Structure 1
């Protein structure tokens, strides 16, 4: 009796072998690799030399920075005026509240990454409770905290507040819009499609201006509210229309037989949506959803154009005085680093979820 021949296992490629195959396979590849490696090394060394080796870090060292003959970075502007970037116009003696509020929302975001919270019964209460604590700490008026109006909010805390509020309002709206868009009643589906397409065709800045400037002229006095909240509502509506189309795309990717099977089992509409359709739709739509959150966080900087003192405006104000106007690059690098930390963390977590759930790969 003959035995089947088992092919010998191919030898595993070492890192050196892979690098040689990718970057040094031909003489031309070798030249290109060495040229770009030399250029990258030169840029990296110049950056390290400017940002670290020749830099000034001591606070209140404005004169030293001006007279620095080596031309290094002046991080003294950051160490001196970082409070403006993080807290804006928030009262100095109460800035601990703003800092604790930001930490609370960061903890909520971290807990949202824990699989135990991935259910409709746990995740929304977590965000609502975290956002409520954030608002109480920022606004005050309760538990012996002094009242601080929204006009004095600013910096990173205002950026986080706008982002969290937009997501809390926009995500439920997006689910409702997506379900209405898929309604079996043509007049509902077509009307919702018209609304979504109309809002998506407008720039976000025009929607912010409309809700901030125009709405007070058409709303009754009792419905006007603060400009900040009107802008958040407009931004949430914009977010919801984009996210609704993302969710609808995730629904359309599902096999039609699943919903038919659920009907055959006697499940009602809300059970089919809540237990079968939406969970799989969110799984299918995970990559664009993460991208939408990233875009939403970055576009909070647009509120500076309509008079809000967010982290971008705070950074500009911190280095915009006559004493520090020579250090604007360093301040913008610091603000960019703040955005990078939040956005990069969100992007990497999205990539982890894609690997865990097996989506976004072909």
Structure 2
């Protein structure tokens, strides 16, 4: 009897990297010419970028603006000289260590929230309560011997993180409530909620921020107006909740109908069905869109400059707004873009990790 060959012997060998590149980019003479021309252009542009950003750039503040004007590369001296304004904005100079610690507390809180061992109701709630409280105490002061600093003096990266975190903390639970109300079996509840969600989603965020910051005080009594920063955060959270509610509702629609029917047959109450059966599966279905919504919300914090807040983009404008550094605006915006990239790329990679983790759990 002939020996049975193993599957590894029968399977054709996988093509190597060189063969795959030849098949994709050099299959025909015309394709090879196009690939080589594109490669030359990419190498040329990459060299010019590296030469501008590193090899011919000016670092440090010893030479001042004059050294930058004499050089042909980037002027990173503006970052070394004005980084405090970019990161801390109008926050008092002697108290900027508090703003730095507040930013660290938010980053640590976010990192702990991403660790699976903290994914319980009590632990995640404790992390967020401690993190947000520590941030607020450090930024505002007035207790524990810290000097009081009003919200009108907050700025830079700390204000951007505060608006983003507050928007998510308020908007995410609100989005779940709106999604559940829109699925209500009572028509007047579901239709009213649908009108609210669609009405908010049909408006640009700038108009909502302007309304909550400028127009709303004219319609509210003085005791209900509050500070402009918190009104803007409420408006941003409402906008976030309207979009996230549709994402959650789509995730709920992706859960098989038999799941809810089986839980009802077992005698589970409404809240147990929602919290133990439907929402966990819905959030897994809605995970990619949810991560994308968090990314969008972080980038949209820059819009608060329209209503007079000194967030990181406005701080960057002030950093090069003086006469001596006015020419170095490209470097300032490149530095701010790198900060946005670090946060947004980290969020997207964490979303990919979660998708991979949940896909493994399904096997």
Normalising by structure 1, we get a TM-score of 0.95
Per the TM alignment, residue 315 of structure 1 is displaced from its structure 2 partner at its CA by: 0.3
- Alignment partner of 1:107 is 2:104: no
Per the TM alignment, residue 6 of structure 1 is displaced from its structure 2 partner at its CA by: 5.5
Tell me, in whole angstroms, the C-alpha distance in 2 between the residues paired with 1:332 and 1:97.
25
Report the 3-state secondary structure (helix = DSSP H, G, I; strand = E; otherwise coil) of the residue aligned with 1:121. helix
What do residues 338-361 of structure 1 show as CA deviations (whole Å, max 9, x unaligned)? 1111111111111121122129xx
Tell me, in whole angstroms, the C-alpha distance in 1 between the residues paired with 2:2 and 2:277.
51
- Alignment partner of 1:234 is 2:235: yes
Bigger CA drift: 15-24 or 265-274?
15-24
Per the TM alignment, residue 275 of structure 1 is displaced from its structure 2 partner at its CA by: 0.6
Give the conservation status (yes or no) of the 8 Å contact 1:60–1:80: no
Per the TM alignment, residue 2 of structure 1 is displaced from its structure 2 partner at its CA by: 7.9
Per the TM alignment, residue 4 of structure 1 is displaced from its structure 2 partner at its CA by: 6.3
- Alignment partner of 1:124 is 2:132: no
Aligned to 1:197: 198
Report the 3-state secondary structure (helix = DSSP H, G, I; strand = E; otherwise coil) of the residue aligned with 1:294. helix
Tell me, in whole angstroms, the C-alpha distance in 2 between the residues paired with 1:5 and 1:134.
65
Aligned to 1:13: 15
Tell me, in whole angstroms, the C-alpha distance in 2 between the residues paired with 1:59 and 1:89.
22
Tell me, in whole angstroms, the C-alpha distance in 1 between the residues paired with 2:337 and 2:69.
26
Aligned to 2:311: 310
Aligned to 1:94: 95
Consecutive unaligned residues in structure 2, runs of 5 or more: none
Give the conservation status (yes or no) of the 8 Å contact 2:25–2:35: yes
Give the conservation status (yes or no) of the 8 Å contact 1:56–1:65: yes
Bigger CA drift: 78-87 or 59-68?
59-68
Give the conservation status (yes or no) of the 8 Å contact 1:60–1:77: no
Aligned to 2:31: 29
Normalising by structure 2, we get a TM-score of 0.95
Within 5 Å, which residues of 2 pair with 1:210-249? 210-249=211-250
What do residues 245-289 of structure 1 show as CA deviations (whole Å, max 9, x unaligned)? 000000000100000000001110001100111111110000000
Per the TM alignment, residue 323 of structure 1 is displaced from its structure 2 partner at its CA by: 1.1
Tell me, in whole angstroms, the C-alpha distance in 1 between the residues paired with 2:261 and 2:62.
69
Aligned to 1:137: 138
Aligned to 2:49: 47
Tell me, in whole angstroms, the C-alpha distance in 2 between the residues paired with 1:2 and 1:264.
57
Consecutive unaligned residues in structure 1, runs of 5 or more: none
What do residues 281-337 of structure 1 show as CA deviations (whole Å, max 9, x unaligned)? 110000000000000000000001110000000001000111110101111111111
**Going by fraction, where is helix more abundant, 1 or 2?**
2
Aligned to 1:277: 278
Per the TM alignment, residue 60 of structure 1 is displaced from its structure 2 partner at its CA by: 5.2
Per the TM alignment, residue 116 of structure 1 is displaced from its structure 2 partner at its CA by: 1.3
Report the 3-state secondary structure (helix = DSSP H, G, I; strand = E; otherwise coil) of the residue aligned with 2:178. helix
Tell me, in whole angstroms, the C-alpha distance in 2 between the residues paired with 1:67 and 1:241.
49
Tell me, in whole angstroms, the C-alpha distance in 2 between the residues paired with 1:243 and 1:83.
35
Per the TM alignment, residue 15 of structure 1 is displaced from its structure 2 partner at its CA by: 2.3
RMSD across aligned positions (CA): 1.5
Aligned to 2:338: 337
Per the TM alignment, residue 119 of structure 1 is displaced from its structure 2 partner at its CA by: 2.9
Report the 3-state secondary structure (helix = DSSP H, G, I; strand = E; otherwise coil) of the residue aligned with 2:122. coil
CA pair 60-299 structure 1, distance change in 2 beyond 3 A:
farther
Tell me, in whole angstroms, the C-alpha distance in 1 between the residues paired with 2:25 and 2:129.
51
Bigger CA drift: 167-176 or 119-128?
119-128
Report the 3-state secondary structure (helix = DSSP H, G, I; strand = E; otherwise coil) of the residue aligned with 1:320. coil
Per the TM alignment, residue 66 of structure 1 is displaced from its structure 2 partner at its CA by: 4.8
Report the 3-state secondary structure (helix = DSSP H, G, I; strand = E; otherwise coil) of the residue aligned with 2:185. coil
- Alignment partner of 1:180 is 2:181: yes
Bigger CA drift: 18-27 or 327-336?
18-27
Give the conservation status (yes or no) of the 8 Å contact 1:87–1:95: yes
Tell me, in whole angstroms, the C-alpha distance in 1 between the residues paired with 2:122 and 2:272.
15
Tell me, in whole angstroms, the C-alpha distance in 1 between the residues paired with 2:14 and 2:105.
47
Aligned to 1:62: 64
Per the TM alignment, residue 3 of structure 1 is displaced from its structure 2 partner at its CA by: 7.4
